Structure 1
Amino acid sequence: MEAKTIKKKGNQPENKKHIKTFWKIFGVGILLILLIFLLASWGVFGSLPDETSLENPEKDLATQIISSDGQVIGKFFKENRTPIQYEDLPEDLVNALIATEDARFYDHSGIDGKGTLRAVAFLGTRGGASTISQQLAKQFFTDQVASSKLERGVQKIKEWIIATRLERRYTKEEIITMYFNTYDFLNLAIGIESASNIYFDKSPQELNLQESAMLVGMFKNSSLYNPKRNPEGVMNRRNVVLSQMEKYDFITEKERDSLRELPLGVKFTPQDHDKGIGTYVREYIRGYMKQWAKDNPKPDGSFYDINSDGLKIYTTLDSKMQLYAEQAIDAHIANIQKQFTIQNEKNKTAPFRDITQEEEDQILESAMRRSDRWRELKKQGKSEKEILESFRKKTEMTIFAWGGDIDTLMTPIDSIRYYKSFLRASMMSMTPQTGEIKAWVGGVNYKHFKYDMVKTGKRQIGSTFKPFVYATAIDQMHMSPCDTLPNTPYCIPTGKYGLLKDWCPKNSDGSYGGMLTLKRALANSVNTVTARLIDRVGPRPVIDLVEKMGVESKDIPEAPSIALGTADISLYEMVGAYSTFANEGVYVKPILVQRIEDKNGTILFQNVPETKDVISKESAYVTVSLMEGVTQAGSGQRLRHSWATNTATYKNAVTGYPYEFTNPIAGKTGTTQNNSDGWFMGMVPNLATGVWVGGEDRSVRFSSTAYGQGATMALPIWGIYMRKCYEDPSLDVSKNNFSKPSKLSIETDCAKYSGGSGEGNELPDDEFDFTP
């Protein structure tokens, strides 16, 4: 016994030695870890964000384009990120995040000790230990890709340091908000606001529980769990999130089971620059903002970056009216294109008409030289011969078609000819009293046809110019709609207005004879009467009038032929000018950008309306009365009838009904020479809208006036659009009479004259219905 005791006592110093060694190693390890953390915090292993960057994280913020009804209709961005506040996050979304990513989020200070020990003990097989704060640190301040385990270890240490700093500087709610605002959900969806709109076409506040669970599920790996590529995997991941929510008592077992059975309900709504509503107007606003940024530097002298400074551009556009305008163009142009294609089947020079081979070659070569392909090959140092040869080699491409884009093999020169075969269209709608533009559609498809025909493009305007001639005669000569002029051939002789030969315009329908009231003459677009009027007032006063109405006049010749619409004018100018009549003779410059704010809500720009008195209230009202005759008994009267639209043709389109408008409408159709351009300008008291339709080239046109006139090509778009507007009571589009001056010295009621002159329909309508 004694010997054994002595032996046991003899082992005590050795045990104590092992214990001391252990504690020394442990202490050194702790000190080493502390030293590593200390060195990392000093930036030895790479810089860490300083206090300023923690307080104000530098992130590119998207600039938003906001409609007058509060909808975000577009963005400019390097990264499509729009930050939101914690109070804008639905409770289910926050709960889903906590349950799935960090159940003890409210109990730790950036590092979850329990989770870390578990991860170390089980080598990560029972889950990691990365907290929301650590994940935020990784997203915000460190590279997300490490090339080695050592680099990843150093990166992890940095994340821990930054996570603790974040916890000291921000509340839990602020950390959650930053996390949601920072994550990249792919498909140009950075942050929850963009993700919610892109994947579900709704704001974060509108997300339901299962939608919230799907988006939170994407935090694990948005590339793997992406509903566009892997809907089944996303469904499974969403259900995992729902199970986690049930596990931590955010939802009941019954709720979990019922929600798991629901489909994803994804409504993919991309926000790239070629898609969504208002693509043309958004591009115009981009150019406007670039110029504004140059002219309005920041207080420190630097310039605003529209792609990253998080500006808010408040526009006058109405998102509903913009949508209705685009729907109207899509419905009618897709339909009339079918007839245009049929007519070109036997056209040997399709899609061109009445041009020589030399002229055709010039058109195609000009298009080649303007193309991106030409510019790119030129940059590469290719010779002109090589470039021309490349246009004749077949290549894979995606081309536009009304039924959806088509992948095909085609030579670039054939693709140019193909695209020229499509009819184009544009439309603008504005409030005459304020100048606020409510809808702007520059073409049929921005991805494939980028040229904007609202403001950039100018075309001959045909008979839509005639009201300006009539208005000049009314304003200067006090003429009445009931005054009559002979409908007989009329010539302005050589030498007058500098004419080199007699100018003798003909009526489009070849009809002559009798006396016509001005109202009847304008309603039926009688050229000889318009010629008599401009000869009375002279071209210069008419030019002066349209110039006061916002039309650029430097390229309008001082010649009587302008009375029939030979001048090239933009749709933007035309709508602004016509609005002057509806606004009692006061021109209000069309406006699109109402105000601009920075990311903090500070107003940087506020629009001030530009107005100009042009003609008297009486002259404006009388001109409107003249144009009402166009829709009562003239080329625009189809707006009044049940046969205005072929319902079978428009079945399943935006409209499937006739127009049958009964309210006052003032308007004018326009058709240019050889049916190259079709116009319709239409007004009600609080909305003026213009529509243009034509080919890219003037030689791309219908073969007959029956199809190529404004009443066929353009008027139906106006009718579809206005029906949609009237069916939406929230828009409050007027059906009232135009405002009448209290004192009116010019008689507008021609029925009071003997025999009711001018109110019948003695002349045939020179424009015919479109019947496919």
Structure 2
Amino acid sequence: MKWSLLAAAVTVFFVIGFCLSIYFGVFGKLPTSNELSHLKQAEATQVLDKEGKLIGKYYIYDRQPLAYTDFPEHLTSALIATEDVRFYEHHGVDNKSLLRVFFKTILFQDQSSGGGSTITLQLAKNLYGRQHHLLFGTVINKFKEAIVAKRLEAIYSKKEILTLYLNTVPFPDNTYGIESASRKFFNKPTSTLSLSEAATLVGTLKANHYYNPGRNIEHSRKRRDVVLHQMLKYDYIDVPTFEETKAQAVILEYQSFNHDLGTAPYFRAQVKKELVSILKDYKKPNGESYDLYKDGLIIHTTLDYKMQEYAEASMKAHLSSLQKMYETSYGKQAPWENDKALINTAIKALPKYKKYKAMGLNANQIEDSLAVAHEVELFEWEGNVKKQVSTIDSLKHYLKLLNTGMLAIEPQTGAIRTYIGGIDYRYFKYDHVSQSERQVGSTFKPFVYTAAIENGMPPCTYFSPKAITYSNYKNWTPENSGTKVEDPHLNYNLEKALSESLNTIAVKVLDEVGIAKVIAQAKKLGITKTLPRRTFVGFRGC
């Protein structure tokens, strides 16, 4: 009896000491009530089009917080019915559920009895995660979460706890918070979620991967029906509503906000570059710099979402058709297969080639290494495919692909309405709008005529369209494009010459005004590229 009492006393002393050590932070500091009352979660920065429509985000954790009033009633009902039916009765820890778990789940091995975690306990875990401990890890983490949950309940109302939970809980596809999940899977704000959609998202909380509607719609549908059954069981919905909703299919409108996917990825990448520079001039009220990925900024742009969709659809239709014509025109003489000089130059530019060369491998060894086949996902207009190909084969595949850039600007304001930097941002990070250099051709003519007028040439000055040879420029003889033959005796004034884009007159005006004055005018109008003074490229027409 004495030894039994001693053992019991030691056990009690150990348990009390163990609990106190957790409480006082021996196994990791617990957040204070003051810290819990000033919670600040990382928020995604939102990029909006000219009408305020969301077109993209910058984030580490994809989260967009909402207020409680933004949640439809059937969403909070679905959450409570499924995750914590006594949510309004406990103060963070549901003792009845814990007893049920102990007796049914642990003693009688009844796995269907459910868990003992409450919404507040889950919130504590979502906010601070779990630490790894060599011994009693689960017990330590559970006890810490219980302490945090009690403190949260003392600080926040039930509505505020639901708001914090729904704004922090992880959903599938690296998505945090109900608003981000709603926009990703259904392309709509949380406030407009239907009962079926709300139940689908709540259903994913049990197992994000297994019940991910984007990966397995059938698993997701079955879990949605479980949520609906819980709502029926606890009188949140009636039988007709249950039957009607259960009969509905789960229809997704998946909208990826991945940095490489979605609408206008090249535009968003360019906006991000400019934001890094812009934000240097702004500070938070506390003096800290803004974090583009965590501070939930709202970025308004001039892009027109609908126009951008039309532009991207047109680009895909045109380039996919043009690619077929391009490949057919070469037939068996395709340079990406037969031009060894072209292929070798491209191979030597590969990072892998440079890496192998730095390791001391000779040309034959490097080529052998690059010829080893492995699984690669290749871009195809009909749909990306995974193939067993070598690095050299992959290089040849991408050498043949046509690319493009397109920019649509509203002339009255200069606002960018559409922006296409390439055919697919995932595979081609090179931006054909902001990075590529093209022959300017006739688009430079307005600079020439502006320089002429600014330097005193009357707009009614007339020039002959007749071609002449410039001996001081290697006997260059610019001509006009097209089949139309101009009357050499008919002179054109500046307005007429510019409107018809006549090369011969543009060069004559350039020669008369002087290259130096045209370059100066171009710089005044915002051209930053260095322009040559001794030579210039001939206009080739439009």
The answer to whether the Cα contact below 8 Å between 2:327 and 2:334 also exists between their aligned partners in 1 is no
**Mapped pair 1:490 → 2:471:** no
The answer to whether the Cα contact below 8 Å between 1:540 and 1:558 also exists between their aligned partners in 2 is no
Provide closer, same or farther for how the CA distance between residues 366 and 207 of structure 1 changes in structure 2, counting only shifts above 3 A: farther
**Mapped pair 1:503 → 2:476:** yes
**Mapped pair 1:564 → 2:539:** yes
Distance in 1 (alpha carbons) for counterparts of 2:507 and 2:196: 69
CA drift at 1:216 = 0.5
Aligned to 2:214: 228
CA drift at 1:167 = 0.3
CA drift at 1:234 = 1.4
**Mapped pair 1:133 → 2:100:** no
**Partner secondary structure for residue 477 of structure 1:** coil
Distance in 2 (alpha carbons) for counterparts of 1:401 and 1:142: 41
2:408 corresponds to which of 429, 432, 451: 429
Distance in 2 (alpha carbons) for counterparts of 1:445 and 1:424: 9
Higher mean C-alpha deviation, range 28-37 or range 40-49: 28-37
**Partner secondary structure for residue 120 of structure 2:** helix
CA drift at 1:438 = 2.4
The answer to whether the Cα contact below 8 Å between 2:232 and 2:242 also exists between their aligned partners in 1 is yes
Distance in 2 (alpha carbons) for counterparts of 1:170 and 1:388: 65
Letter in 1 for 2:96: K
Aligned to 1:465: 444
The answer to whether the Cα contact below 8 Å between 1:64 and 1:313 also exists between their aligned partners in 2 is yes
Provide closer, same or farther for how the CA distance between residues 328 and 348 of structure 1 changes in structure 2, counting only shifts above 3 A: closer
**Partner secondary structure for residue 215 of structure 1:** helix
Aligned to 2:459: 479
CA drift at 1:309 = 3.0
Q: For structure 2, which runs of at least 5 residues remain unmatched after alignment?
A: none
The answer to whether the Cα contact below 8 Å between 1:201 and 1:267 also exists between their aligned partners in 2 is yes
- Percent identity of paired positions between Structure 1 and Structure 2: 35
CA drift at 1:322 = 2.5
Cα distance per residue 1:187-211 (max 9 Å; x no partner): 1212212211221122212211100
**Mapped pair 1:289 → 2:275:** yes
Aligned to 1:536: 512
Letter in 1 for 2:166: F
CA drift at 1:511 = 5.2
Provide closer, same or farther for how the CA distance between residues 240 and 510 of structure 1 changes in structure 2, counting only shifts above 3 A: closer
The answer to whether the Cα contact below 8 Å between 2:172 and 2:204 also exists between their aligned partners in 1 is no
**Partner secondary structure for residue 105 of structure 2:** coil
**Partner secondary structure for residue 176 of structure 1:** helix
CA drift at 1:47 = 2.5
The answer to whether the Cα contact below 8 Å between 1:188 and 1:272 also exists between their aligned partners in 2 is no
Provide closer, same or farther for how the CA distance between residues 384 and 283 of structure 1 changes in structure 2, counting only shifts above 3 A: farther
Distance in 2 (alpha carbons) for counterparts of 1:378 and 1:100: 59
Cα distance per residue 1:129-174 (max 9 Å; x no partner): 21100111122224177777x3212222122111111100111112
**Partner secondary structure for residue 395 of structure 2:** helix
2:33 corresponds to which of 48, 51, 60: 51
**Mapped pair 1:65 → 2:65:** no
Letter in 2 for 1:504: T
Distance in 2 (alpha carbons) for counterparts of 1:163 and 1:25: 32
2:261 corresponds to which of 275, 289, 292: 275
The answer to whether the Cα contact below 8 Å between 1:486 and 1:529 also exists between their aligned partners in 2 is yes
The answer to whether the Cα contact below 8 Å between 1:398 and 1:407 also exists between their aligned partners in 2 is yes
Cα distance per residue 1:346-388 (max 9 Å; x no partner): 5453589xxxx6xx62x54554454443466578x46464444
CA drift at 1:331 = 2.3
The answer to whether the Cα contact below 8 Å between 2:370 and 2:390 also exists between their aligned partners in 1 is yes
Residues matched between the structures, number: 530
CA drift at 1:466 = 2.5
Higher mean C-alpha deviation, range 514-523 or range 59-68: 514-523
Distance in 1 (alpha carbons) for counterparts of 2:134 and 2:409: 57
The answer to whether the Cα contact below 8 Å between 1:67 and 1:315 also exists between their aligned partners in 2 is yes
TM-score normalized by the length of structure 1: 0.63
CA drift at 1:460 = 0.8
**Partner secondary structure for residue 74 of structure 1:** strand
The answer to whether the Cα contact below 8 Å between 1:468 and 1:546 also exists between their aligned partners in 2 is yes
The answer to whether the Cα contact below 8 Å between 2:203 and 2:224 also exists between their aligned partners in 1 is yes
Distance in 1 (alpha carbons) for counterparts of 2:306 and 2:492: 40
1:180 corresponds to which of 161, 166, 189: 166
**Partner secondary structure for residue 88 of structure 2:** helix
**Partner secondary structure for residue 171 of structure 2:** coil
Aligned to 1:678: none
2:312 corresponds to which of 317, 326, 333: 326
The answer to whether the Cα contact below 8 Å between 1:111 and 1:164 also exists between their aligned partners in 2 is yes
Cα distance per residue 1:568-596 (max 9 Å; x no partner): xxxxxxxxxxxxxxxxxxxxxxxxxxxxx
Higher mean C-alpha deviation, range 391-400 or range 524-533: 524-533
**Partner secondary structure for residue 397 of structure 1:** strand
**Mapped pair 1:439 → 2:444:** no
**Mapped pair 1:214 → 2:196:** no
Cα distance per residue 1:714-748 (max 9 Å; x no partner): xxxxxxxxxxxxxxxxxxxxxxxxxxxxxxxxxxx
CA drift at 1:242 = 0.5
Distance in 2 (alpha carbons) for counterparts of 1:279 and 1:336: 22
Aligned to 2:302: 316
**Partner secondary structure for residue 409 of structure 1:** strand
Provide closer, same or farther for how the CA distance between residues 377 and 306 of structure 1 changes in structure 2, counting only shifts above 3 A: farther
CA drift at 1:521 = 4.9
CA drift at 1:214 = 0.6
CA drift at 1:520 = 6.1
The answer to whether the Cα contact below 8 Å between 1:322 and 1:440 also exists between their aligned partners in 2 is yes
CA drift at 1:510 = 6.1
TM-score normalized by the length of structure 2: 0.87
Aligned to 2:151: 165
Aligned to 1:400: 379
Distance in 2 (alpha carbons) for counterparts of 1:190 and 1:168: 25
Letter in 2 for 1:542: V
Provide closer, same or farther for how the CA distance between residues 439 and 146 of structure 1 changes in structure 2, counting only shifts above 3 A: farther
**Mapped pair 1:112 → 2:99:** no
The answer to whether the Cα contact below 8 Å between 2:421 and 2:432 also exists between their aligned partners in 1 is yes
Cα distance per residue 1:83-127 (max 9 Å; x no partner): 222222222111110111111211211112222232233236322
Distance in 1 (alpha carbons) for counterparts of 2:38 and 2:355: 41
RMSD: 3.2
The answer to whether the Cα contact below 8 Å between 2:379 and 2:385 also exists between their aligned partners in 1 is yes
Distance in 2 (alpha carbons) for counterparts of 1:232 and 1:145: 35
Letter in 2 for 1:139: N
Distance in 1 (alpha carbons) for counterparts of 2:67 and 2:186: 19
CA drift at 1:558 = 4.8
Cα distance per residue 1:418-447 (max 9 Å; x no partner): 223222211222334444322221111111
Distance in 2 (alpha carbons) for counterparts of 1:370 and 1:287: 26
Provide closer, same or farther for how the CA distance between residues 325 and 505 of structure 1 changes in structure 2, counting only shifts above 3 A: same
Provide closer, same or farther for how the CA distance between residues 377 and 288 of structure 1 changes in structure 2, counting only shifts above 3 A: farther
Provide closer, same or farther for how the CA distance between residues 348 and 244 of structure 1 changes in structure 2, counting only shifts above 3 A: closer
Provide closer, same or farther for how the CA distance between residues 313 and 153 of structure 1 changes in structure 2, counting only shifts above 3 A: same
Higher mean C-alpha deviation, range 35-44 or range 68-77: 35-44
Letter in 2 for 1:135: Q
**Partner secondary structure for residue 424 of structure 1:** coil
The answer to whether the Cα contact below 8 Å between 1:111 and 1:134 also exists between their aligned partners in 2 is yes
Distance in 2 (alpha carbons) for counterparts of 1:184 and 1:74: 19
Provide closer, same or farther for how the CA distance between residues 375 and 226 of structure 1 changes in structure 2, counting only shifts above 3 A: farther
Letter in 2 for 1:417: K
Letter in 2 for 1:63: T
